[in-house]
């Protein structure tokens, strides 16, 4: 596969943008290849500037559950743009989107729209701190909640006692208030609560982790976590930026029948345009300015074009039963892969739920970050280069999910199985 144009453009990009990209994973650094430069995308396919076609399993890291360039969403964006792009004043669309989200997420009694998932989480945490009048937050190792300072934290060497910044530039006094627990391990959370009595404002979690590869919550873990948090006077924040409108129209909380205090959304609710949102219990949300003392604001928040794209996406998903379609496609793909790759059980593990999956280059269960880190990233690297050249666009990292859409066809999936099976046989 020839990617000369991409190669040349990236050289120019590297001179004007750090690493040649506007978000790190796009640089393909962990697979040691030069990145693909995209020209356009439609349905399940994405095309680079050399004219190569790929079946897309990145799907913009989640938003494109309807596939790319859905005609109904294009129309909504076009129609909205004719009326102006941004006003710094309330529009009816925002209220309509709030209602649409509330209908699917009953726990989101009130909502605030922001411009990214990062902003949603950052603001939800400030709100939780303001509401509880406590400072400390518990997060889980391997869960990603955007790049606000207090979330760029990892367990220190004396795990469960100290946490340290996971990025340069994050002050230690900020990271010190974020405690790190182990996914699927309630005891690790219990220890943190008992060592920090009446100090924990909130526990934040991806109810299904999808940013260390896909890691599923074990039976009873989320319910136990909610109860434990409430017993200790903290708030539970579900970061459903990926899972919202994907695991079900009502997200992971709808699928598992759980009720967090605050929910963070993003990705699908903007249909590919920049958006984020956080919402939850009315009494908590009323702590937000201007009704309450917790400050939060945004020049472009509730942008009419983003709101129109999000609303059109959600309505089209309802119309198409897009969640079921994407789930069926994923089931079909996972069954085919498991069938064809039986002999590789001691080398790979496939984690999957709804329309998310990860092929871990590791034997046995993958239930937390420590398991994830045992994956053979060299094998992944070889595998990635192989499938990319056969026409599959998957995230260039072992620690990401594959995202399916309602537009992935049987033909796409059969071709994908063929490419993946061949690559694994050649790689391992």
Ligand X SMILES: *Cc1c(COP(=O)(O)O)cnc(C)c1O
Looking only at residues 132 through 161 of this chain, which bind ligand X when binding is defined by CB under 6 A? 144-146
Phi, psi angle pair for 25, to nearest 5°: -60, -25
Site string for ligand X, 77-116 (x = CB under 6 A): ---------------------------------------x
Which CB, 206 or 320, lies closer to ligand X?
206
Nearest residue to 337 (alpha-carbon basis) of 346, 328, 345: 345
Q: Does the protein bind ligand X through residue 400 (CB under 6 A)?
A: no
Which of 48, 56, 177, 239 lies at the binding interface for ligand X (CB under 6 A)? 239
Q: Does the protein bind ligand X through residue 408 (CB under 6 A)?
A: no
Chain centroid, CA 114 distance in Å: 16
Q: Does the protein bind ligand X through residue 268 (CB under 6 A)?
A: no
Q: How far is the CB of 38 from ligand X (least distance, A)?
A: 17
Q: Would you give the end-to-end CA distance of the chain in angstroms?
A: 22
Q: Is 414 noted as a catalytic residue in this protein?
A: no
Phi, psi angle pair for 140, to nearest 5°: -110, 140
Task: Give the integer Cα–Cα distance in Å for 261 and 240.
Answer: 13
Q: Does the protein bind ligand X through residue 253 (CB under 6 A)?
A: no
In whole angstroms, how far apart are CA 241 and each of 35, 94, 229, 395, 408? 25, 18, 21, 17, 22
Q: Is 227 noted as a catalytic residue in this protein?
A: no
Task: Give the integer Cα–Cα distance in Å for 58 and 80.
Answer: 27
Which of 117, 130, 244, 304 lies at the binding interface for ligand X (CB under 6 A)? 117
Q: Does the protein bind ligand X through residue 216 (CB under 6 A)?
A: no
Q: Is 259 noted as a catalytic residue in this protein?
A: no
Q: How far is the CB of 273 from ligand X (least distance, A)?
A: 11
Q: Does the protein bind ligand X through residue 211 (CB under 6 A)?
A: yes
How many residues does the structure list for the chain? 428
Task: Give the integer Cα–Cα distance in Å for 155 and 162.
Answer: 6
Q: How far is the CB of 266 from ligand X (least distance, A)?
A: 5
Which residues, in sequence order, are CB contacts of 31 under 8 Å at separation 6+?
380, 381, 384, 385, 396, 397
Query: Judged by CB under 6 A, which stretch of 78-86, 238-246, 353-361, 409-417 contacts ligand X?
Result: 238-246
Which positions lie near ligand X, rule CB under 6 A? 116-118, 121, 144-146, 206, 211, 239, 241-242, 266, 276
Catalytic (active-site) positions? 144, 239, 267
């Amino acid at each position: 596969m020839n990617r000369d144009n991409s190669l040349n453009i990236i050289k120019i990009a590297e001179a004007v943008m750090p690493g040649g990209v506007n978000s790190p994973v796009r640089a393909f650094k962990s697979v040691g290849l030069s990145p693909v430069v995209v020209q356009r995308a439609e349905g399940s396919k994405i095309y680079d500037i050399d004219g190569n076609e790929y079946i897309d399993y990145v799907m913009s890291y989640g938003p494109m559950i309807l596939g790319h360039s859905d005609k109904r969403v294009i129309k909504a964006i076009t129609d909205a743009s004719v009326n102006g792009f941004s006003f710094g004043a309330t529009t009816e669309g925002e209220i309509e989107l709030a209602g649409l989200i509330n209908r699917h997420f009953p726990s989101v009694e009130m909502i605030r729209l922001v411009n990214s998932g990062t902003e949603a989480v950052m603001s939800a945490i400030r709100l939780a701190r303001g509401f509880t009048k406590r400072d400390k937050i518990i997060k889980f190792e391997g869960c990603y909640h955007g790049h606000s300072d207090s979330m760029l934290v990892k367990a220190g060497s004396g795990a469960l006692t100290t946490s340290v910044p996971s990025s340069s530039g994050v002050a230690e006094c900020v990271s010190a208030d974020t405690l790190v627990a182990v996914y699927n391990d309630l005891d690790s959370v219990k220890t943190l609560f008992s060592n920090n009595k009446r100090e924990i404002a909130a526990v934040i979690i991806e109810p299904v982790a999808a940013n260390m590869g896909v890691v599923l919550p074990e039976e009873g873990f989320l319910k136990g976590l909610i109860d434990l948090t409430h017993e200790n006077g903290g708030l539970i924040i579900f970061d459903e930026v990926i899972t919202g409108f994907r695991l079900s129209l009502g997200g992971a909380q709808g699928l598992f029948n759980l009720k967090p205090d605050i929910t963070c959304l993003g990705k699908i609710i903007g249909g590919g345009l920049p958006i984020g949102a956080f919402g939850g219990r009315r009494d908590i949300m009323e702590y937000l300015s201007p009704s309450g003392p917790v400050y939060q604001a945004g020049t472009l928040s509730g942008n009419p074009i983003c709101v129109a794209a999000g609303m059109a996406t959600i309505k089209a998903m309802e119309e198409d039963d897009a969640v079921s379609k994407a789930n069926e496609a994923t089931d079909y793909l996972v069954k085919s892969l498991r069938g064809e790759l039986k002999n590789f059980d001691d080398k790979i593990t496939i984690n999957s739920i709804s329309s998310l999956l990860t092929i871990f280059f590791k034997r046995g269960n993958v239930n937390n970050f420590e398991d994830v880190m045992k994956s053979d990233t060299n094998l992944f690297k070889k595998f990635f280069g192989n499938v990319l050249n056969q026409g599959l666009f998957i995230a260039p990292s072992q620690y990401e999910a594959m995202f399916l859409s309602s537009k992935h066809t049987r033909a796409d999936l059969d071709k994908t199985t063929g490419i993946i099976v061949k690559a694994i046989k050649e790689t391992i």
